[in-house]
């Protein structure tokens, strides 16, 4: 399995290039050292097509096929940092995509245990198969994958202490709010257009509290499976 991927990288995919990305993220306001350590550790170049590997450590989104993208590293780091305002034992990711965000969450769990179990749901079967292969190649086997409709979440495994959504619904699915554990946090881009609002929902003893963080750009969250 590992022979299929250049996990170390050279030139524009080297550890030095990866570290420069970490420096840029720190300059842009990412302060969570666990998140930065995970960005430094995860070889983003294996999560994109080989032809785009030389661009893997640019702070930009890149196409991954099936009309989907691998998110901009700053947005990945921002969403992860926002989710992990405290340790989250059970985390659900909606929208596996390339598997890069999944790998960041699982790597944080491996490095300092601020993330426990990671569950990830993807509607496109071709993408989830590739993501599973990539995570296995880098030794992240504690992730549970599901080919399913992200709008439904993963009710059989809920509730979750954290939910992170990597595609944008017009309105937050009620099922995801219902699957938040007490004290749980949902981080999701919300909106119908090409630019959405990154929004946080916290389940408190007073009910769901909502906070809007920043404008972001994500592909839409689509119902059903394929």
Q: Is 71 a catalytic residue?
A: yes
Among candidate residues 31, 34, 71, 98, the one labeled active-site is 71
Angle, in degrees to the nearest 10, between helices 33-41 and 15-27: 150
Cα–Cα distance, 100 to 42 (Å, whole number)? 8
What is the token pair recorded at 143?
């992730």
In order of 7, 124, 132, 182, the CA distances from 98 in angstroms are 16, 11, 9, 30
H or E segment at 69?
A: strand 68-70
Shortest CA distance to 91 belongs to which of 174, 16, 17, 187? Answer: 187
Q: Which sequence positions are flagged as catalytic?
A: 71
């Amino acid at each position: 399995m590992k022979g299929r991927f250049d996990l170390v990288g050279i030139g524009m995919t080297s550890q030095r290039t990866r570290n420069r990305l970490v420096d840029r993220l720190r300059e842009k306001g990412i302060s969570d050292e666990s998140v930065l350590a995970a960005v430094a550790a995860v070889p983003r170049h294996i999560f994109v097509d080989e032809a785009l590997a030389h661009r893997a450590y640019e702070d930009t989104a890149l196409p991954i096929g099936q009309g989907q993208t691998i998110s901009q590293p700053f947005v990945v780091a921002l969403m992860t940092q926002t989710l992990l305002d405290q340790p989250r034992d059970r985390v659900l990711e909606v929208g596996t995509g390339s598997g890069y965000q999944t790998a960041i969450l699982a790597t944080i769990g491996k490095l300092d245990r601020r993330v426990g179990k990671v569950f990830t749901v993807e509607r496109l079967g071709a993408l989830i198969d590739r993501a599973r292969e990539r995570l296995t190649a880098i030794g992240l086997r504690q992730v549970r994958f599901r080919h399913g409709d992200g709008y439904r979440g993963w009710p059989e495994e809920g509730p979750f202490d954290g939910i992170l959504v990597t595609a944008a619904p017009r309105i937050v699915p009620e099922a995801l709010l219902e699957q938040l554990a007490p004290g749980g946090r949902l981080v999701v881009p919300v909106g119908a257009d090409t630019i959405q609002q990154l929004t946080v929902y916290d389940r408190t003893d007073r009910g769901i509290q909502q906070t809007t963080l920043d404008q972001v750009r994500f592909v839409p969250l689509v119902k059903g499976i394929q």
